[in-house]
Amino acid sequence: MFNLMELEQAAADIYQVMPATPQYNWPLLAQTTGCDVWVKHENHTPTTAFKVRGGINLLNQLMKSDSKPKGIISATRGNHGQSLSFSSKRIGLPLTIVVPECNNIDQNNAIKGFGANLVIHGKDFEAARKHSLELQQAMGYHAIAPFERDLVLGVASYALEFFSAVKDLDTVYVPIGMGSGICGLIKTRDLLKLKTEIVGVVAEGAPTFALSFSAGKIINTDYANTIADGVATSAPIEEAFEMIKNGASRVITVSDNEIAQAMYQYYQTTHNLSEGAGAVPLAGLMKEKQQMKAKKVGLILSGGNIDFKNFSKHISSVLYC
């Protein structure tokens, strides 16, 4: 997919736009998990999520091409849309983003705030994605999928930072949405010739990657119901699945209650706000904390984009159930 020189160059290009994000060893979180645990804070980017790295890199590459697009279009549940909106605004490229009707209002406002044309269509991501392709044909814009080489290459810069800053990690827990985050982590681990195990974590209400990993082949689901929008996937992309199948140690599921518990733990122990998908890795570690006791573990806090109403509701369900 890419080599180490390309990854280092992508990281250097990204640092012209944003700084590297920190990784912290939080004492109270270590006590809670029983591990030497390090958190990679991708909630500290200009869009409060890791995806912005992919948008920066992909649009940089598009603008270097011989046939520059007159505009771009994509579908999203949020962070991918913010990434493209942030990046397209920088270079003055028109952008249309299609989101489903159920989408987070704060995410919608953030996408529009960066100047994108927002289209709301369909009951779920798949409906929004199909509509975006119909609009692409009519508008003549360049369609961007949620999993593309240059997106993964940009996203992988977070993994290069993490593995360079924290040596000898036994295991890293990472959420799986459409796959760019975990695939960037797997590819970077392999390029650096590390032995770190990578554990993908998904929601019980959106188990397609867990079912597929267990079966060794893609198993789509007709549902994706979870409080963690960023992992609400029902149809894996084949290229992403192949990388996960060959590079992850396992894929585990966590319940919405466990995700809400992890959101609360992040706030209580680090005072960081985590969206549902961002808390999924911590929920996975808590589920496996007996087998991970005293190990050196990484957690990818992939984003903090959650509206106050939903955050309050999810935390209240933990505190007052």
CATH number at residue 270: 3.40.50.1100
Do 233 and 297 sit in the same domain of this protein? yes
CB 294 within 8 A of CB 264: no
Q: What are phi and psi of 171, to 5 degrees?
A: -150, 145
How many independent structural domains does the chain possess? Answer: 2
- Taking the CA of residue 153 as centre, how many other CA atoms within 13 Å lie in the half-sphere pointing to its CB? 23
pTM: 0.96
Do 43 and 64 sit in the same domain of this protein? no
Do 177 and 255 sit in the same domain of this protein? yes
Domain of 82, in residue numbers:
52-143
Contacts of 294 (CB under 8 A, 6+ apart): 34, 35, 36
Do 40 and 122 sit in the same domain of this protein? no
pLDDT at 203: 98
Do 162 and 41 sit in the same domain of this protein? yes
Distance CA 135, CA 147 (A): 19
Do 164 and 232 sit in the same domain of this protein? yes
CA-based nearest residue to 7, from 166, 174, 172, 188: 188
- Taking the CA of residue 165 as centre, how many other CA atoms within 13 Å lie in the half-sphere pointing to its CB? 17
Per-residue pLDDT 10s for the chain (321 aa) are 899 999 999 999 999 999 999 999 999 999 999 999 999 999 999 999 999 999 999 999 999 888 889 999 999 988 999 999 999 999 999 999 999 998 888 899 999 999 999 999 998 888 899 999 999 999 999 999 989 999 999 999 999 999 999 999 999 999 999 999 999 999 999 999 999 999 999 999 999 999 999 999 999 998 889 999 999 999 999 999 999 999 999 999 999 999 999 999 999 999 999 999 999 999 999 999 999 999 999 999 999 999 889 999 999 988 876
Do 63 and 154 sit in the same domain of this protein? no
Do 70 and 129 sit in the same domain of this protein? yes
Cβ neighbours around 134 below 10 Å, total: 11
CB 253 within 8 A of CB 230: no
Do 275 and 178 sit in the same domain of this protein? yes
Do 56 and 180 sit in the same domain of this protein? no
Mutual angle of helices 256-270 and 276-287, in 10-degree steps:
100
**Could you say which of 88, 119, 143 is where a domain stops?**
143
pLDDT at 321: 61
Do 166 and 187 sit in the same domain of this protein? yes
CB 4 within 8 A of CB 12: no
Kind of pairing between the strands at 36-41 and 23-24: antiparallel
Q: What is the DSSP letter of 43?
A: G
